[in-house]
Amino acid sequence: MRKEILIGALLTACFIMPGLVMADETPLKNAPDGRPLALTFADEFHDFRPLGDPHGVWRTTFGNGHSRAEDRTLPDNGEQELYVDRDFWKGGEGPIPFRVHDGYLDIIANPAPPQLIPQLRGHRYTSGLITSQPSFSQLYGYFEMRAKLPDGKGMWPAFWLLPADETWPPEIDVLEAVSDPTHIYMSTHSARQPTVGVEAHVTPDAFHTYAVAWDASQIIFYIDGKQIGAQKTPADFHKPMYVLANLAIGGNWPGNPDASTHFPAILTIDYIRAYRFGP
């Protein structure tokens, strides 16, 4: 996610049409390769738990969200959204991009009302970001998100991992889609080697589970339990990471929304889970 353009850097590609996720959505006992798993983090989104609430889990900005525009967007990507939350409006009225219903979290993007654009530092869209920094990070493991992606020009949903020590790179992009929810990119960013990634295709308007198995020797990407690609773990990936999910709008890679883009655009998340590998 933290890059200007990814597609030109992809070195390998794998085109697979995964089947639909099975009805059993209980936490895994084993990874797809058979390794035992122990659940270490889970949010099933029966409610939304931002930091500051009792039992809060999710930070809704990069950093503390109070000092820099970069805490609420990634300007180097040319993104058009600002990630907002209830704290951003400081008691005033403004769109809230998070909605929980029936065990799902919707992250909702919309064009900004014209009268709010100055308050949004000129950004034309509002959207949402959740990160488990500082509530949860982990060195190695199996990380997964089950979600349905939005369609439309300029949409850029993502599920990714960043280091708890706030260095960059490394970065693991478990899921990115740009303007096409059927075309999935999964990649790593390292200071020690070029960007390595794979591509896959999924059925539209459906939930799929996007996952990565990461250990000291190998990184393996999965969709719906099917292996999409694997690579050796780069030398700078041996540090704890936290998880992020967001819906970016526009920018250098997907391009900006146009007249064909339907709003509200919604990234619907069923669950996010993390596991350690067992003995």
The catalytic residue positions are 171, 176
Q: Are strands 129-131 and 265-277 parallel, antiparallel or unpaired?
A: unpaired
Report the residue count for the chain: 279
Tell me, what amino acid is at 211? A
> What backbone phi and psi angles, to 5 degrees, belong to 73?
-170, 175
Q: Are 183 and 258 in contact (CB under 8 A)?
A: no
Cβ contact 253:77 at 8 Å:
yes
**What string of DSSP letters covers 193-245?**
S--EEEEEE--SSS-EEEEEEE-SSEEEEEETTEEEEEEEPPTT--S-EEEEE
How many helices (H) and strands (E) the chain has is answered by 0, 16
SS3 90: coil
